[in-house]
Amino acid sequence: MDLLRIADLEPGQLAEILARAASVKSAPQEVAGRLAGKHVGLFFMKPSTRTRVSTETATVDLGAYPVVLGQQEVGLGKREAVNDVARVLDRYLDVLALRVFDHADLVAVAEHADAPVINLLSDEEHPCQALADLQTIAESRPLAGSTLAYLGDGNNVCHSLMVGAAMSGMTVRVATPQGYEPQREYLETARAHGDVTVTDNPLDAVRGAHVVYTDVWASMGQEEEAEARARRFYPFQVNGPLFAMADPEAVFMHCLPAHRGDEVTDEVMDHARSRVYDQAENRMHSFKGLLVYLFE
Ligand code: CP
Ligand code: NVA
């Protein structure tokens, strides 16, 4: 099984992985050594802090050996064709986990490798982030019946979270500037599972929501657009007055890294109901839950 998109999972499989993630977090010793003898490839074509460290530590805790690779050494699609890299790595490794620019590269790797291929972020999705996010929300309140407001760019993090949340019975309200909405294909997938709306009015999304989520306005690789995007996205900043319009028990979430003062203010990042560091921690537990599930 591959995890390129969150919708590669059936809703029941997603719930199973989240259950594994929760039990791994409460009793990590029970899965220690579970993947002994396995080799997990972790390939990064872009910078990473959370994904790099959480996947490597999770792999070691499960008794497997992490092989961390960068684009400088592999030259995916440059030094060697993507298909050949996939075929070669498949001879050594039991899992291929990759962070890439172009989602099509992941699809090509998955076509040419028998080992499970895991998306560690592409231009289209960030499914491992969505696993950690859903685990984090479930620690505060039941997923089913809760409302998630996502503000900002309708791209990778939004796609995976929106679909995963809808698959988990959440109501999803996405607020983006016009022209930055989630791709139609992801909206259709999410709407096949639940109630998903898109608006250009941040207040309509946030009012009464149980979770308020945002991501950077300019993603890795879009640095040149940062200034122009900041002008369009400024009304979508999650600040104290906007967060106060959510449910009184609402939590704030961000995949990180955050640009404090842009998409979120210090007041909200450091709020008692901010869950951003729990999300970061849960990247490790949920990746363990995923690996344990894959090799059961
Ligand atoms: N949230 C996340 O994926 O962070 P990194 O880019 O630091 O891995
Ligand atoms: N949307 C961001 C997420 C980083 C974890 C990016 O792609 O850079």
Task: For residue range 61-74, list pLDDT tens digits in order.
Answer: 999 999 999 999 99
Task: Tell me what pLDDT residue 179 has.
Answer: 97
| Tens of pLDDT, residues 214-261 | 999 999 999 999 999 999 999 999 999 999 999 999 999 999 999 999
| Tens of pLDDT, residues 8-24 | 999 999 999 999 999 99
Every domain of the chain with CATH number 3.40.50.1370 lies at 32-124, 127-279
Q: How far is the CA of 280 from the centre of ligand 1 (A)?
A: 8
- Architecture label for domain 32-124: 3-Layer(aba) Sandwich (3.40)
For residue 296, what pLDDT band results from cuts at 50, 70 and 90?
very high
Q: How far is the CA of 214 from the centre of ligand 2 (A)?
A: 11
Catalytic residue among 215, 262, 271, 279: 215
| Tens of pLDDT, residues 148-157 | 999 999 999 9
Q: How far is the CA of 176 from the centre of ligand 1 (A)?
A: 21
Answer yes or no: 158 catalytic. no
Answer yes or no: 126 catalytic. yes
Are the C-beta atoms of 215 and 238 separated by less than 8 Å?
no
Task: Tell me what pLDDT residue 138 has.
Answer: 98
Q: How far is the CA of 121 from the centre of ligand 2 (A)?
A: 8
Answer yes or no: 283 catalytic. yes
Are the C-beta atoms of 81 and 111 separated by less than 8 Å?
no
Cα gap 112→240, rounded to integer Å: 48
Percentage of the chain lying above the pLDDT 70 cut: 100
| Tens of pLDDT, residues 118-129 | 999 999 999 999
Fold (CATH) for 127-279: Rossmann fold (3.40.50)
Are the C-beta atoms of 136 and 279 separated by less than 8 Å?
yes
Q: Is the CB of 54 under 6 A from ligand 2?
A: no
Task: Tell me what pLDDT residue 55 has.
Answer: 98
For residue 28, what pLDDT band results from cuts at 50, 70 and 90?
very high
Residues contacting 268, CB < 8 A, separation 6+ = 238, 239, 240, 243, 252, 274
Task: Tell me what pLDDT residue 36 has.
Answer: 98
Number of the ligand 1 atom closest to the C-alpha atom of 256: 1
For residue 269, how many other CB atoms are within 10 A of its CB? 18
Q: Which residue's alpha carbon is at the smallest distance from atom 2 of ligand 2?
A: 219
